[in-house]
Structure 1
Amino acid sequence: MNEQDAVKIAKVILEIVKYNLPVDCEEDIEILSKKLLSDLRDLGLVKTLEKWLREEDEDLGFTVSP
Structure 2
Amino acid sequence: MSTTAERICQTAQQLPDSLALEALHYMEYLRTRANATEGESNLMQAQQPSMQQVWDNPDDEVWNVQPTR
Task: Verify same fold: TM over 0.5.
Answer: no
The structure whose residues are more often helix, as a share, is 2
Q: Between Structure 1 and Structure 2, whose CA radius of gyration is higher?
A: 2
* TM-score of the superposed pair, with normalisation by structure 1: 0.36
Which of 1 and 2 has higher RCO (CA within 8 Å, sep 6+)? 1
